[in-house]
């Protein structure tokens, strides 16, 4: 399911003295099946954009195509349920939204709300819990007896159980330890590759954006500052530092190495593994 | 050896209805003016330990001594004066409607008089570089600015020790640097003792000493250099290593010659260059 934003504008508290521009003239495309990262520092409008993707906020100007639906400013929109099912949002600290007595009930809540029968919802809960890498016996437990990392996975399972086409992730690994973070990022990447999910990741981590994204949207002061592939975006360090961001550590290291070398490497390396291989190859060439 | 400001002796703690110990026989010492990083996977006991240092939990066995006082329900308020905490979520620690009200809140609670209070609020905000925001509403600040105000609220109470419980984990890279620079300056100028509980390895790498917790016990401790040499072991504990250590490992795996696992990017580049490209 493609999502396209056309010149979207949103203001908080519109029409009151407290009106504040959040985003304006925002246009970009999330092609079906792609992994798109949205980067930008705090207050750049990332979260406001994200809430438009399943119409929790409606544009005050412009329009959004979500699959075959168009959400346009100034129109009453009905029957948004199907959009909300197909675009699943995992908010920051989603474990704060757990509320049921058991993990199973919590995961079933979403699908049943969308009309799935109980038996089928339970089957989905079993599938979802496996997808997030937890053992099935967790289903019987209270979500509140689990560790923070496990609770996070349960909350994500709840979104996956609705079988969304698009998974929107707002800083999904904040507060997790490094291994938990890696496991979770690998899980999203595999859902995108193997299950054909479209992924939209809002992140502060340039490393994650470089490693996983097909396309990056840079936000600054409520506008789209630039879009492109990770190689496009990260080959222009000046435009990143101009808005308070920077290149991933790998690329910083590559630049340091190139200073010694006196000339640039053939291409920009997006992961440390890639850079290590490139340096080995270069040594081979020079010997 | 300098003066001990914290001593934790054989402390164990178990939450109700849990079979495993959250902390088991933990012993640690912290010197005055030291910067100690505590790292460990989720559920390793870091937060339980933090809560114990501020009297939000009490040890079930063993004892915690802070600034010469052994933690008990009788002296918990005196201990909280010595040790201030900054929490993870900047939005969860504001009570005032303006920046200066917020910093004043703790002082008011401690019965500091009005005239002195004004001066202490101002000095505290000066120390974190936030005097330009005196009358701003806290929720309009960036994450890094909010955490600096939270730090000002803590240092206005003049503690000896500041404890950061993942205080930078919700910030963007710029906000993170902002907060860390502030803390470093306070440590140097005011002689503050800093304990930072963190998942951020680059942050831990800047500490004087690192303690690794694993499943409620102290797994090991040492200087950042010592700790990050054990890269594979750290990965097994659910932790990571700083970028240059990881990069050293990957380059060595690719067959490049290195004198050691490096800790600093410039040194690593120099080493790779000298041993592999100048012959």
d(CA B87, CA B207): 19
- Subunit contact A272:B142, Cβ cutoff 8 A: no
Q: Choose the catalytic residue: B166, B202, B221, B265.
A: B166
pLDDT confidence of residue A143: 92
Helix (H/G/I), strand (E/B), else coil: B65: strand
End-to-end CA distance of chain A: 50
8 Å CB contact between B202 and B196:
no
Tell me what pLDDT residue B96 has: 83
**Pick from A43, A206, A277: CB nearest B254:** A277
- The reply to whether residue A276 touches residue B266, judged by beta carbons under 8 angstroms, is no
Nearest residue in chain A measured CA to CA from B247: A272
Interface test with B, best of A134, A269, A279, A286 (most B CBs within 10 A): A279
pLDDT in tens, A209-246: 999 999 999 999 999 999 999 999 999 999 999 998 99
Q: Which residue of A has its CA nearest to B273?
A: A260
Indicate the pLDDT class of residue B170, thresholds 50, 70 and 90: confident
pLDDT tens per residue across span A152-197: 999 999 999 999 999 999 999 887 888 888 989 999 999 999 989 9
Residue B1: what pLDDT? Answer: 53
- Give how far B164 is from chain A: nearest CA, Å: 14
Handedness of CA B170, B171, B172, B173 (dihedral sign): negative
Question: Does the distance separating the beta carbons of B238 and A244 come in below 8 Å?
Answer: no
Is B166 noted as a catalytic residue in this protein?
A: yes
Q: Which residues of B touch A280 (CB under 8 A)?
A: 251, 254-256
d(CA A183, CA B30): 34
Give, in degrees to the nearest 5, the angle at Cα B256 between B248 and A258.
75
Q: Does B142 touch chain A (CB under 8 A)?
A: yes
Chain A residues touching residue B142 (CB < 8 angstroms): 41-43
Of B172, B250, B269, the CB nearest to A272: B250
Interchain proximity B199–A149, CB inside 8 Å: no
How does pLDDT run along chain A (287 residues), one tens digit per residue? 999 999 999 999 888 888 889 999 999 999 999 999 999 987 789 989 999 999 999 999 999 999 999 999 988 888 899 999 999 999 888 888 899 999 999 999 999 999 999 999 999 999 999 988 899 999 999 998 887 788 999 999 999 999 999 999 999 988 788 888 898 999 999 999 998 999 999 998 999 999 999 999 999 999 999 999 999 999 999 999 999 899 999 999 999 999 999 999 999 999 999 999 999 999 988 87
State how far the Cα of A30 lies from the Cα of B98, in Å rounded to an integer.
40
Does B41 touch chain A if contact means CB atoms closer than 8 Å? yes
DSSP H helices, chain B, are 46-53, 76-82, 99-109, 114-127, 143-155, 173-190, 201-205, 224-229, 231-236, 243-253, 265-277
What are B83's strand-pairing partners? B161
Are the Cβ atoms of A175 and B169 closer than 8 angstroms? yes
- Residues of chain A with Cβ-Cβ distance to B247 below 8 Å are 250, 253, 272, 275-276
Q: CB B266 to CB A178 under 8 A?
A: no
Q: Does B251 touch chain A (CB under 8 A)?
A: yes
- ipTM of the complex model: 0.86
Contact between chains at B43 and A244 (C-beta distance less than 8 A): no
């Amino acid at each position: 399911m493609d999502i396209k934003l056309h010149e979207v504008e949103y203001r908080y508290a519109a029409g009151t003295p407290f009106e504040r521009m959040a985003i304006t003239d925002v246009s970009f495309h999330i092609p079906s099946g792609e992994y798109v990262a949205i980067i930008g520092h705090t207050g750049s409008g990332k979260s406001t954009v994200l809430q438009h993707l399943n119409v929790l906020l409606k544009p005050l100007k412009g329009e959004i195509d979500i699959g075959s639906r168009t959400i346009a400013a100034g129109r009453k929109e009905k029957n948004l349920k199907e959009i909300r099912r197909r675009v699943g949002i995992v908010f920051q600290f989603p474990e704060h939204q757990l509320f049921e007595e058991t993990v199973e009930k919590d995961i079933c809540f979403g699908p049943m709300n969308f009309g799935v029968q109980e038996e089928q919802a339970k089957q989905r809960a079993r599938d979802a819990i496996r997808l997030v890498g937890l053992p099935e016996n967790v289903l019987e437990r209270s979500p509140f007896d689990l560790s923070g990392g496990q609770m996070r996975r349960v909350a994500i399972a709840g979104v996956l159980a609705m079988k969304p086409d698009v998974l929107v992730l707002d800083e999904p690994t904040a507060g997790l330890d490094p291994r938990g973070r890696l496991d979770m990022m690998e899980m999203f990447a595999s859902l995108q590759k193997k299950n054909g999910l479209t992924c939209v990741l809002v992140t502060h981590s340039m490393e994650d954006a470089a490693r996983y994204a097909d396309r990056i949207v840079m936000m600054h002061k409520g506008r789209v500052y630039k879009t492109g592939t990770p190689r496009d975006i990260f080959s222009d360090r000046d435009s990143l530092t101009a808005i308070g961001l920077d290149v991933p550590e790998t690329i910083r290291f590559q630049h340091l190495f190139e200073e010694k070398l006196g000339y640039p490497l053939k291409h920009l390396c997006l992961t440390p593994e890639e850079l290590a291989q490139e340096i080995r190859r270069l040594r081979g060439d020079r010997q | 050896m300098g003066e001990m400001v914290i001593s934790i002796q054989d402390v164990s703690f178990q939450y109700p209805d849990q079979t495993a110990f959250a902390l088991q026989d933990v012993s640690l010492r912290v010197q005055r003016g030291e910067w100690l990083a505590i790292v460990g996977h989720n559920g390793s006991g870091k937060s339980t330990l933090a809560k114990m240092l501020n009297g939000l939990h009490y040890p079930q066995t063993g004892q915690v001594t802070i600034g010469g006082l052994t933690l008990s329900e009788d002296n918990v308020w005196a201990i909280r004066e010595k040790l201030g905490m900054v929490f993870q979520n900047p939005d969860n620690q504001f009570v005032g409607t303006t920046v200066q009200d917020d910093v004043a809140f703790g002082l008011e609670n401690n019965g500091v008089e009005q005239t002195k209070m004004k001066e202490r609020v101002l000095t505290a905000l000066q120390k974190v570089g936030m005097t330009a925001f005196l009358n701003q509403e806290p929720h309009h600040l960036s994450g890094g600015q909010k955490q600096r105000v939270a730090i000002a609220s803590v240092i206005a109470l003049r503690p000896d020790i500041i404890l950061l419980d993942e205080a930078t984990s919700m910030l963007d890279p710029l906000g993170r640097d902002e907060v860390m620079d502030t803390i470093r300056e306070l440590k140097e100028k005011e002689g503050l003792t800093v304990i930072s509980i963190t998942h951020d390895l680059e942050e831990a790498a800047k500490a004087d000493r690192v303690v690794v917790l694993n499943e409620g016990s102290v797994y090991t401790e040492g200087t950042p250099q010592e700790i990050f040499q054990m890269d594979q072991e750290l990965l097994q504990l659910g932790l990571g290593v700083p970028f240059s250590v990881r990069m050293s490992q990957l380059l060595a795996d690719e067959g490049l010659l290195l004198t050691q696992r490096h800790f600093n990017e410039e040194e690593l580049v120099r080493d790779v260059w000298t041993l592999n490209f100048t012959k």
